[in-house]
Structure 1
Amino acid sequence: MKKIAFLLFFGLMVSAQNTRVIYEYKFRPDSSKSDSLKTEWMYLDINKNGSKYYSKNSFESDSIVAESIKKQMASGARSISVSRNSQGGEVKDEVEKTYPDYKIYLISSLGNDAYKVLEDRKPEWKISPDKKQISSFKVQKATTDFAGRKWIAWFTTDVPVQDGPYKFSGLPGLIVDVSDETGSHKMELKGIKKIATTQIEDFDTKGKDIPFTRKKPLDVSRKQYLKQLKQYENDPVQGMREILAQPNSKVKINVNGTEISDPKEVLRYMEKDARDEMKKNNNKIELIP
């Protein structure tokens, strides 16, 4: 099956403007637990203007939430119920690249805000003479230091696309496999296919600030983003506190089957959940964001 998918790609490159590269991303979010390894299916959607790298499950979960909210707003509902899919993706961040300048943007949410962060660093690759075969691809080794980790990549010149998963690009071909030297993060190409144009849309909430929904990201520099990241780590419920301070704003959450609506209790549980999540997610892909 892999061979068919790979061989099909060469015909697609000639005729298709939109191509999806599918990667299996294995990562260990908690460095203190050897059994914390997780797997996420990631898409790298490529067209003539650039690429977008994102989680399959997160995209599907966001789409379900958006459709539910649209229906509620169209029906004239006075209150909006938002239910996050328990099977939603672990990876929320996305990466966009533009061609031919290969500018790199991180799309990241912090609390109730989203940011589009222009990356001012690019991987500087050292290409090795080492070569081998991965599935039907002849690949060559390259290494780089990026964002606090040492990375090993295998790329193929059989596919004339100088791109790859996450923020990795700039090699003379498509990245087939890339992993950090600790084995904590590994992205491996699993398939390639032709697709129709995909569009993740931001919808009009008619002035309502609805928690857990996709927001249009604010364009910021990496320095500005790091400032916001620090603020979030110090106070992860600041955005929710601002929402609850608005007139006639109410938020209900479900904790182990119990519905909680008291603002102080909502904030307390949400802050505990956010801090627990940060504690468990101590082995991020970027040790130096």
Structure 2
Amino acid sequence: MILTGVFAFAQPKIKTDATFSAPNYSQQNLELSTYNITYDYKIVKNVKAPEKAKSGIALLQIGDKYNKFVDLNKIKTDSVTERFSHLSTVNSSHFNEMLAVSFKSIFRYQIIFNKENNELTFIDKVYSDNFLYKEKIPAFAWKLEKETKQILGYSVKKASVKYAGRNWTAWYAEDIPIQFGPYKFNGLPGLILEIYDDKEHYHFTANSINQNPKQIYLS
């Protein structure tokens, strides 16, 4: 199972003066979010070297009709790219600024949930090419368990599921009646605040929740 799309390699940098065409950028604004949840994540790319796990912060935006899940650095990359897209050309300094923020993203995909038609759009980037595919929002056969603990001051309950060849454990907060969580996970009677697989190759833990309206968009 590949959750992470394309991982960032060593960051390149242009060391000579050069001029480039300004980047093309556009975005489709969908709606304002009602919740924004950020997650610390740890992802093991090379299972033979788990000590070299990659870490970062992901963002889950919840709206009335749409959700979005993305690496927080992808949001920052979009902001920089949009700013430079209004120029006629960009120089090496501009280009290096875009590269610097872009290569901080451990995963580069976006996931948009359209809750009205039960459809998920997955957008990824391989080198300079963008691609997307659509699928029905997956249904998960969760097993609800009795264990509880605290995350961010919320009492959370344990659930488990087998998905794409991995055994997953989730902790969800019934006090937050949102049936979603990181990546494609959904269907529990509360917001997923933590989820990980039994080999600890993927681990997401919520570190903040706010209700400040932010634009949910497709870039």
Tell me the TM-score normalized by structure 2: 0.73
User: In the TM superposition, what whole-angstrom CA distance separates every residue of 1:105-155 from its partner, at most 9, and x where no partner exists?
Assistant: 211122332223213572422323322122322222222222232211111
In structure 1, the residue matched to 2:176 is 159
**Which stretches in structure 2 are left out of the alignment for 5+ residues?**
1-31
* 2:67–2:216 Cα contact (<8 Å) kept: no
Aligned to 2:106: 90
Give the corresponding residue for 1:130: 146
Report which of the two has the higher share of helix: 1
What amino acid is aligned across from residue 92 of structure 1 in structure 2? R
1:1-289 residue pairs with structure 2 within 5 A?
18-71=34-87, 73=88, 77=89, 82-83=95-96, 84-87=98-101, 88-120=104-136, 122-135=138-151, 136-200=153-217
Q: For residues 52 and 90 of structure 2, what CA distance do their matches in structure 1 show?
A: 42
Higher relative contact order at CA 8 Å, sep ≥6: structure 1 or structure 2? Answer: 2
- Following TM superposition, where does structure 1 have runs of at least 4 consecutive aligned residues deviating by more than 6 angstroms? 78-81
TM superposition shift of 1:182? 0.3
The offset of 1:183, in angstroms, is: 0.5
- Report if aligned partners of 1:123, 1:146 keep a CA contact under 8 Å in 2: no
Amino acid at match of 1:156: A
Of structures 1 and 2, the larger Rg is shown by: 1
Q: 1:31 and 1:124 mapped to 2: Cα distance?
A: 25
SS of match in other structure, 2:73: helix
Q: Contact (CA 8 Å) 1:23, 1:189: kept in 2 or not?
A: yes
Q: Secondary structure at the match of 2:51?
A: coil
In 2, distance between residues paired with 1:177 and 1:102?
A: 23
Specify which structure has the higher proportion of strand.
Answer: 2
How many Å apart are 1:180 and its aligned residue?
A: 0.7
Number of residues of Structure 1 aligned to a counterpart in Structure 2: 183
Aligned CA distance change for structure 1 residues 78 and 97 (closer, same or farther; 3 Å): closer
Alignment partners' CA distance in 1, 2:166 and 2:46 = 16
In structure 1, the partner of 2:11 is none
Stretches of structure 1 that go unaligned for 5 or more consecutive residues are 1-15, 203-289
TM-score w.r.t. length of structure 1: 0.57
Question: Percent same amino acid among aligned pairs?
Answer: 21
Aligned equivalent of 2:23:
none
> 2 CA distance for matches of 1:101 and 1:154?
27
Task: Write the letter of the residue equivalent to 1:190.
Answer: N
- Asked if 2 retains the 8 angstrom alpha-carbon contact of 1:125 and 1:171, the reply is no
Asked if structure 1 preserves the Cα contact closer than 8 Å seen for 2:37 and 2:206, the reply is: yes
> Against the structure 1 CA distance between its residues 116 and 78, is the aligned structure 2 distance closer, same or farther, given a 3 Å change threshold?
closer
RMSD: 2.5
One-letter identity of the residue aligned with 1:82 = F
Per-residue CA distance 1:53-100 (angstroms, 9 max, x = gap): 1111122023213312322x2xxx499973333243111011111225
CA displacement at 1:46 relative to structure 2: 1.0
